[in-house]
Structure formats: structure tokens, C-alpha cells
A = this chain, B = another copy of it.
Amino acid sequence: MPTFALIFIITIIMEFSAQQIAQILAGEVEGNAEAMVSNFSKIEEGKPGTITFLANPKYASYLYDNQASIVLINRDFVLEKAVPKTLTLVRVPNAYFALAQLLDIVNQVKPRKCGIEQPSFVHPSTTMGEGVYIGAFAYLGENVKLGENVAVYPNSYIGDNVSIGSNTTIYAGVKIYEGCVVGNDCIIHAGAVVGSDGFGFAKEGEEFKKIPQLGNVVIEDNVEIGANTAIDRAVMGSTILHKGVKLDNLVHVAHNVEIGENTGLAAQTGIAGSTKIGKNCVAGGQAGFGGHIKIGDNVSVGAQSGIISNVKDGRRIIGSPAIDVNKFLRSSIIFPKLPEIYTQLGKLEKMGDQKAE
């Protein structure tokens, strides 16, 4: 089945009125209910015939001279002045969420790849469900199991005894080592590696002796893994990503790590060996978690933080080593004054010494 350019699809499919969009999203129209749109635009770049959205209040100023035809906006957003007459508002409970719904509709009409391209390498022992796509130069080793509607894009490597659940997409050039398990409804982006050896060595004199890494990686349902992220197999047992985990690009997950449900880690975050992160946590980019520690549920970790000890449920921390967010921010404001503090303290001491004489 041929794949059309995305922009083309959007143009063909999406010719909606403000009224129709309000119906889909259970929103209310303010302005011309007949305003028509056939594409999306960012609020900074609104063009006639497009729909845009305002979710982040930082961008509110772009609203008042916007050339877009429709804007999705929060129901409780209060206009500071009039918007252009060519701009129709569709008010919804949550503009960002409504946008996601609309994008989803467009996304679902994109034709899915299907079938087995040649040349590919599919071991005779491989089993697969209906609707699978295997791209050219994809490699499926012995006893690989693919569920229904799995897509394995070109140049991917699926090692022996790997199983992949239904509706999961493996993008180009992903490498999954033998014996790993991927759930249903997952997305693994290009270049990601799953199941490489953990970094485990015992010192033998001055040399490192390799500890064989005999475990695997288990990825539960609805997990998304970013481009060029690397997840090591366990030394024994499993490195586990529980359901709903979202990892951004270039994240490092060491051996025997366990990440709880619905935890999201931004790009270039690293987690050292055997650390357990709880549910519903978030970490900003380039955060680092030390090894053998336990992070509770609902923890929020700032970008570039270094976490070196256990963290209780619900804490918000930042810094390296990480401390309470508010403490960190207050101390960071004082940090540039350190030379002044040092000088003043010297003066006071001198005064004290003089008085003591």
C-alpha cells in the first residue's frame, strides 16, 4: 500500500469547520462557526486556513494578532483584548489535550506499513501475528515471537528468543539483544539498544575481569523509548521498565534497574546499576541517578540533578548532589555572591581581631 506524504494527507483529510471541531472536542465556538481549516500551525506562525492552540500562557501575546483561522483555547482563559475577526476560538477544558486528540485523528489516517519487504532475514522458527510489517534488512533471529500489527522497520536487529507484543513499533536500526521481552503498544525509536551487557567488572589486580551478564530486559506495555537510548540487560534476573514508562532520547539505563509505572525521564538522563525508581516520577534532562538506591513514587527530579541516596515519595529535588528544589533555588541565587561574602567575612574578622587586641 502506498504511503503518501504526511502534508498531503493532512490537506486531503482535514477540511473541518470550527463547528465540527467543537463537536469532536466537546468545546464551544466563539466567532465564525463556519471557519474552515486544513492544517495545523504553531501559535507563533499562525496562517490563514490553519488551526493553532494556546496551552502555555508564555505564548498568549501571539493570540492578539494571529492570522490562523481557529485557535484551541482553555475554557477559563480570559482575553486581555480582542482577537482578530478572522480568528475563531474553540474553547475546551484543556487546549493541549484537545490538540492531542485532533493530532491523533490525523495520525490514525496515516497509512500503516504492512507486509514483509525483501531482502530481510526471518529465521524459520519466527512466529508472527496478523498485520506485521518487516522492513528490508531487518533481522529476526531464532524463536522470535511477534504479536499482531508489530512493525519492525528496516535495518533493525531482533536477537534470538526475543518476544514483542502486539501493536508495537520498532523503528529503523533498533537493536534488541537475545532473550529480551517487549510488551504491547510500545514504541522504540531509531537506534535504541535494548539488552546490551551491563557494565559489570570485578578488579583482578589492576585488570577488570568481566562479570558475564546473563539476565535480560523486560519492557512492559505502553512504553516509549527514545532514539539512541541504551538499556542494559541484568547480570541475573531482569532490568525492568514497567507499563507506561516514557524514556526520551540518549537515556542510559544500567543493569538491574527497575523503573516504575508511568515514570517519564527526559533526554540524556542516566541511571546506574540496581537502582529502583518508583511510579509517576519525572526527571528533567541530563539527570543522573547513582547505583543501588531507591527513589519513591511521584518524585520530581530537576534537570542535571545528581541523586546519590534514597528519595522519599513525592519529593521535588534538584542539584548535584540533589536537595529540595526551593532550597536549591535560594542557594543558587546566593552562589554568585560568594566572593563578596568571603571578603565581608574577612573584614568582620579583622574588626573582631582588632577589638580583641
Interface residues of A (CB under 8 A from B): 2-3, 5-7, 10, 40-42, 45, 56, 58, 94, 96-97, 99-100, 103-104, 106-107, 117, 119, 121, 135-137, 139, 141-143, 153-157, 159-161, 171-173, 175, 177-179, 187, 189-191, 193, 196-197, 199, 201-202, 204, 206-212, 214, 216, 222, 224, 226-230, 232, 235-237, 244, 246, 248-250, 252, 254, 256, 261-262, 264, 266-268, 270, 272, 279-280, 285-286, 288, 290, 292, 303-304, 306, 308, 319-321, 323-324, 327-328, 330-339, 341-342, 344-345, 348-349, 351-352
Q: Which of B137, B172, B237, B249 contacts A159 (CB 8 A)?
A: B172
User: Residues of B contacting A290 with CB < 8 Å?
Assistant: 303
- 7 smallest CB-CB distances across A and B, nearest first, come from A107-B212, A157-B172, A175-B190, A196-B227, A334-B338, A227-B230, A193-B227
Q: Which of B139, B153, B201, B344 contacts A172 (CB 8 A)?
A: B139
User: Residues of B contacting A171 with CB < 8 Å?
Assistant: 175, 177, 196
Q: Once the chains bind, are B179 and A199 in contact (CB under 8 Å)?
A: no
Q: Once the chains bind, are B250 and A5 in contact (CB under 8 Å)?
A: no
User: Residues of B contacting A107 with CB < 8 Å?
Assistant: 212, 214
Q: Once the chains bind, are B270 and A270 in contact (CB under 8 Å)?
A: no
Q: Once the chains bind, are A207 and B244 in contact (CB under 8 Å)?
A: yes
In the assembled complex, 11 residue pairs joining A and B whose CB atoms fall closer than 8 Å, in A order, are A5-B160, A97-B209, A100-B202, A154-B157, A159-B172, A175-B227, A207-B222, A248-B252, A268-B268, A303-B306, A334-B342
